[in-house]
Chain A
Amino acid sequence: MWQRWFTVKGRSLFSIAFSLHRLTGIVLTIYLCMHLAYLTSIRMGKEVFESFIATTVTPQFLIFDILLILAGVYHGVNGLRLIIHEFGLAYESRKSILYISVAIALIVWLIASYRMYVFVMGV
Chain B
Amino acid sequence: MDVEFKIKRFDGEKSYWQTFNIPVKKGMTVLEGLYYIKENLDGSLAFRASCRMAICGSCAVKINGKPRLACETQILEIGNKLEIEPLDNFRVIKDLVTDFEGFFAKHESVKPYLIRKDDNYEEPVELIQSPKELYAYYDFTLCVKCGICYSVCPAAATRDDYLGPAAITAAYRFNADSRDEGEKTRLALVCGDNGVWRCHFAAECSEVCPKQIDPAKAVQKMRFKAAIEAIKSIFR
Contacts and interface: CB of A to CB of B under 8 A. Distances in A.
Interface of A: 1-2, 4-5, 7, 9-12, 14-15, 17-18, 21, 82, 85-88, 91, 94
Interface centre among A4, A5, A10, A91 (most CB of B within 10 A): A10
Contacts of B224: 86-88
A13 B220 CA distance: 19
A15 B223 contact: no
Contact of A4 (B65, B158, B203): B158
A86 B223 contact: yes
Interface in B54-102: 62, 64-67, 88
A86 B227 CA distance: 10
Contacts of B223: 86
A80 to B, nearest CB: 12
B215 to A, nearest CB: 11
B158 A7 contact: no
Contacts of B221: 88
B201 interface: yes
A14 B88 CA distance: 17
B152 A2 contact: no
Given A4-B157, A5-B154, A85-B220, A12 B200 contact: no
Contacts of A14: 202-204, 207
B204 A12 contact: yes
Given A14-B202, A17-B202, 19 more contacts: A1-B157, A1-B158, A4-B88, A4-B154, A5-B157, A7-B157, A9-B65, A10-B65, A11-B152, A11-B204, A12-B208, A14-B204, A15-B152, A15-B202, A15-B204, A85-B216, A85-B220, A86-B223, A87-B224
A7 B223 CA distance: 25
Contacts of A94: 203, 206
Interface in B22-73: 62, 64-67
A56 B214 CA distance: 47
A22 to B, nearest CB: 8
B68 to A, nearest CB: 10
A7 B88 contact: yes
25 contacts: A1-B157, A1-B158, A4-B157, A5-B157, A7-B88, A7-B154, A10-B67, A11-B66, A11-B207, A12-B208, A14-B202, A15-B202, A15-B207, A17-B202, A18-B154, A18-B204, A82-B200, A82-B201, A85-B216, A86-B220, A86-B224, A88-B221, A88-B224, A91-B217, A91-B220
